[in-house]
Amino acid sequence: MTIATIDSSASQPARASLFYDPVIRGVVFQVLLALFIIYLVYSGVTNAANNLARAGIATGFGFLNNRAGFDIGQSLIPYTANSTYRQAFFVGLTNTIFVAAIGIFFATILGFIVGIARLSKNFLVRKVAEVYVETLRNIPLLLQLLFWYKAVLSALPAPRGSIEMFNSSVFLNNRGLIMPHYLAEAGASIFYASIAIGIAVAVVIARWAKKRQMATGQIFPTIRVALGLIIGVPLVVLFVLGVPFTAEYPELSGFNFSGGTTIRPEFMALLLGLSLYTAAFIAEIVRAGILAVSKGQTEAAFSLGLRPNTTMRLVIIPQALRVIIPPLTSQYLNLTKNSSLAIAVGYPDLVSVFSGTVANQTGQAVEVISITMIVYLTLSLLTSAFMNWFNSRVALVER
């Protein structure tokens, strides 16, 4: 072998046969793969067309304009049984986005708390957080959802024996969580405006404080002032106006409550399951992110005289976020996709309304499931685009 190598290196490299030419091989391989895929798609489409024709199922998206004829338990937009399938689709879509958005909100907060707790120097805090994470992430989400729905929420007492909270204004029973409904009176708009103004002023002050700190090093208590502006000022306005809201309290009439707002057990179970489960994963991501910040950074901050809290907020978290955000994005996507398990607890999300009821009623499974899949693909791409943008804002700028 060695001799052969030396010989060939001395002369011109021998021309390989076409069979061994990497370019030819690449082309041949790709053409074969392409033919295979084309064959699969072609045979699938012709088979589907034949099968559908034989079963007498209509094709195309015309069915979207037909009358749906079924009721949906929970809807954010106007919907009746007389609405079209198209409207049913939008009900499912908004319900999916609604539960996903609220779930992401709670999972993020809880995940950050648990993640930081796992790094606590306090033994009890650390262990409780660890047990939480290990238990929840090693049990299937579907089981957790069914547990909340079937074992906890349906085991609650009937409306007559409701658990009463907050001076008998909030009731918890197997029909859901029933809370007073607040109706706005004249003057409520001033209250809303005060919240908006509070937020706007807080943003302006935060910017000014940051600029001043950059220029002079003087620290302004931004968070406390902002909280005062966003929560305190509207509260004062609320009482000055004499609380311009009338509460409609739920009342027990017959076998159920009337009045008030009801959060249905299906929604509660889904939200509880999604947030608690995803929070366990977010906690691990946060922990890994904080551990990824080198210890020298903490030591440097301490040696500059920063206090532990300030170090956490100004030095550790900003650097940890760079590590945290990409996997956090995946968790947000997972939560959104997992909300499709709503079908198991009967919350009318996109999959349950559209891939479930509508597909069964119309028989147009191909169209319905394709639309559902396209929606989830779009949601995935939008979320990751947003998070990539956010990521690029916080990413390390190397100079």
Partner 1 sequence: MSDTHAETDVATTRLAFVRNDFLKSEAPPVREGGLGHWLKVNLFATPKDTILTILMALFLAWILPPLLNWAFFSAVWDGSNREACLGEGRGACWAFVDAKFAQFMYGRYPIDERWRVDLTAILLIVSLVPLAIPSVPYKKFNAIFLLVVFPIIAFILLTGQFGLRPVRTDLWGGLLVTLVVAIVGIVVSLPLGVLLALGRRSHLPFVKYASIVFIEFWRGVPLITILFMSSVMLPLFLPDGVTFDKLLRALVGVAFFASAYMAEVIRGGLQAIPKGQYEAADAMGLSYWQKMRLIILPQALTMVIPGIVNTFIGLFKDTSLVLIIGIFDLLGIVQLNFADPNWAAPQTAITGFAFAALVYFVFCFGMSKYSLYMERRLDTSHR
Residues forming contacts to partner 1 in the complex (CB under 8 A) are: 26, 29-30, 33-34, 37, 43-45, 47-48, 50-52, 54, 120-125, 128, 134-135, 137-143, 146-147, 150-152, 155, 337-338, 340-341, 343-344, 351, 355, 359, 365-366, 369, 372-373, 376-377, 380-381
CB of 376 to partner 1, least distance (A): 5
Nearer to partner 1, 139 or 394 (CB): 139
Beta carbons within 10 angstroms of residue 91's beta carbon: 24
The torsion defined by the Cα of 119, 121, 122 and 126, in degrees rounded to 10, comes to: 20
CB of 257 to partner 1, least distance (A): 23
CB of 206 to partner 1, least distance (A): 27
Nearer to partner 1, 24 or 196 (CB): 24
| SS3 call for 166 | coil
* CA-to-CA separations, 285 to 83, 279, 291, 320, 331, in angstroms, rounded: 44, 10, 10, 10, 9
| Residue 397: φ, ψ to 5° | -95, 110
Who contacts 101 (Cβ-Cβ below 8 Å, separation ≥6)? none
Q: State the Cα–Cα distance between residues 288 and 388, nearest whole angstrom.
A: 20
Nearer to partner 1, 128 or 323 (CB): 128
Nearer to partner 1, 44 or 62 (CB): 44
CB of 242 to partner 1, least distance (A): 38
CB of 57 to partner 1, least distance (A): 9
Nearer to partner 1, 230 or 341 (CB): 341
CB of 116 to partner 1, least distance (A): 12
Among residues 334, 342, 339, 290, which one has the least CA distance to residue 316? Answer: 290
Residue 244, judged by CB atoms within 10 A of its CB (0-12, 13-18, 19+), counts as middle
Q: State the Cα–Cα distance between residues 226 and 197, nearest whole angstrom.
A: 11
Q: Give the type of residue at 172.
A: L
CB of 196 to partner 1, least distance (A): 36
CB of 156 to partner 1, least distance (A): 11
Nearer to partner 1, 141 or 230 (CB): 141
Nearer to partner 1, 320 or 345 (CB): 345
**DSSP 8-state class, residue 79:** -
Nearer to partner 1, 95 or 372 (CB): 372
Residue pair 72/79 in contact by the 8 Å Cβ criterion: yes
Nearer to partner 1, 150 or 322 (CB): 150
- Structure-token pair, residue 55: 């079963």
Q: Give the type of residue at 261.
A: T
- Structure-token pair, residue 184: 């706005």
Among residues 348, 328, 357, 396, which one has the least CA distance to residue 63? Answer: 357
| Residue 191: φ, ψ to 5° | -65, -45
| SS3 call for 276 | helix
CB of 392 to partner 1, least distance (A): 19
